[in-house]
Amino acid sequence: MKADYHSMKAPHLIIIGGGFAGLELIKQLRNKFIKVTVLDKNNFFNFQPLMYQVASGGLGPDAIAYPLRKIIAPMPNIAFRMAEVLRIETETQTVETNIGNFAYDYLCIATGAQTNFFGNAALEKYSMQLKSIPDALDLRSDILQEFEKALNESQGSQIERALNFVVVGGGPTGVETAGALAEMKKNVLPADYKEIDAQKMQVHLIEAAPRVLAAMSEISSAKAKQFLEKLGVHVQVNTAVQQYNPETGDLSLSNGQVIKTDTIIWSAGVKGKTIAGIPDTSVTKGNRYQVNEYNQIEGINNVFAIGDIAYMTTDKAYPNGHPMVATVAQQQGVLLGKNLLKLINNQPMKPFTYLNLGSMATVGRHKAVFEIFGVKMQGYIAWLGWMFLHLMLLVGFRNRIVVLLNWVWNYISYQRAIRIITRPFIPKQ
């Protein structure tokens, strides 16, 4: 049997989303007796864990983006369509998109997550986020434009406002972004902006929980906080962000403190990216779809959800759902691929259990925390391990080479080479 998308009379699976989950699912189905259409509004997969390095000018977007068409090119039973999904009709088994309707036999929703501002409209409007490549380029432009702005201000309070950077949320993204900003203060600012007193730049990391990197062990949390503080980041735990006044630049915290800033980077939470047409009753905590142990959406047996968008409570170790991280998404993608083939062949499916491989985060040069397969490391070796694993996890040999080259360059030069502003300045007020 030669699998071919156009001629094969096989069940048709539509996958919405070419992220970590969708990608692993596709790989499992390569050359199998199933016809697969991948829909994504972008034509590339992007490697989110390194997004903060695009924002801080250490990498270009092409280093972490990989064309989806290139991934599926050697997979004759799989097609890609660049499309924005508008609605799902489960009755007629149709996905409505901006480029037309697609009929499915099986549907897999792998749309991932979006930033959660928990209803705070002012923060949503004025915060930067880090969920897409345009987000990252916007943030990079904004950071550099704040430096430029600081040069043109004569008033102390305005300079302070331009040079105060507040990262909200102490998960891996928040910790890594705050660390990258602190390194820009140390290396980029004194080199490029000699006219600015680099000491005036302040990086704040605000976390509502009692510690940063709450998903890791206490020792890693403590060490990460110590690394951040060594780099000059003001870390505040047990502290929430309350209100932002764009006129005055006042950001008020739950402890009564007010920080004057133009730049709030929001990494304090995510929520599922749901699609119209799936009944509201299926949407549960974190705006995620309630799924059973096979990632089936309750009540609609031929519709699956995997990755961040899926909320599963059957996995014994995770009664309140899995963490919204890449490894869960990947493992669910792999298992669903196998289960779908079983389903088609009328074999029983296997329930999902998450194998937690661990977690890691880099704060800066020679400073990382690492907990993989129970091995706990901090500092230099952890930093090497973090780099090695990220290089391995990247998709495509070219991207690995490009990232490695940039890292070597940044390491030797102490700089972030790509400090170019490619987007127009969007005033905050």
Sites of contact with a second copy (CB under 8 A): 5-6, 42-44, 60-63, 65-67, 69-70, 73, 79, 81-82, 99-100, 133-134, 137, 144-145, 148, 151-152, 191-195, 398, 401-402, 405, 409, 413, 415, 417-422
Query: Any bridge partners for residue 263, and if so which?
Result: 165
Cβ distance to a second copy smaller for residue 152 or 281: 152
Minimum distance, C-beta of residue 245 to a second copy, in the bound complex (Å): 24
Minimum distance, C-beta of residue 351 to a second copy, in the bound complex (Å): 37
For residue 345, which phi and psi values (nearest 5 degrees)? Answer: -95, 15
What the block records as the tokens of 396 is 């495509």
Cα separation, 5 vs 399, whole angstroms: 28
Cα separation, 55 vs 134, whole angstroms: 10
Cβ distance to a second copy smaller for residue 81 or 338: 81
Minimum distance, C-beta of residue 61 to a second copy, in the bound complex (Å): 6
176 as an active site residue: the answer is yes
Minimum distance, C-beta of residue 404 to a second copy, in the bound complex (Å): 11
Cβ distance to a second copy smaller for residue 103 or 401: 401
- Of 270, 257, 209, 207, nearest to 235 (Cα)? 207
Minimum distance, C-beta of residue 114 to a second copy, in the bound complex (Å): 17
Cβ distance to a second copy smaller for residue 192 or 298: 192
Active-site choice (160, 176, 207, 371): 176
Minimum distance, C-beta of residue 230 to a second copy, in the bound complex (Å): 26
Cβ distance to a second copy smaller for residue 156 or 427: 427
Cβ distance to a second copy smaller for residue 84 or 218: 84
Cα separation, 223 vs 234, whole angstroms: 14
User: Side chain identity at 226, as an amino acid letter?
Assistant: Q
Phi-psi region at 71: left, alpha or beta (left = phi > 0; alpha = psi -120 to 50): alpha
DSSP label of 274? -
User: Side chain identity at 170, as an amino acid letter?
Assistant: G
Cα separation, 146 vs 149, whole angstroms: 5
DSSP label of 105? S
Cβ distance to a second copy smaller for residue 97 or 339: 97
Are the beta carbons of 11 and 105 closer than 8 angstroms? yes
Give the count of beta carbons closer than 10 Å to the beta carbon of residue 380: 12
Cα separation, 202 vs 198, whole angstroms: 9
Cα separation, 87 vs 300, whole angstroms: 15
| 219: three-class secondary structure by DSSP | helix
Minimum distance, C-beta of residue 274 to a second copy, in the bound complex (Å): 22
Cβ distance to a second copy smaller for residue 373 or 397: 397
Cα separation, 105 vs 295, whole angstroms: 16
Query: Any bridge partners for residue 234, and if so which?
Result: 204
Taking CA atoms, 61 is separated from 44, 182, 422, in Å, by 11, 21, 12
Taking CA atoms, 294 is separated from 38, 69, 309, 333, in Å, by 20, 28, 14, 11
Cβ distance to a second copy smaller for residue 44 or 117: 44
Cα separation, 318 vs 330, whole angstroms: 17
Are the beta carbons of 324 and 110 closer than 8 angstroms? no
Minimum distance, C-beta of residue 395 to a second copy, in the bound complex (Å): 12
Minimum distance, C-beta of residue 155 to a second copy, in the bound complex (Å): 13
The sheet carrying 164-168 orders its strands as 127-128, 263-266, 164-168, 202-206, 234-236
Active-site positions? Answer: 176
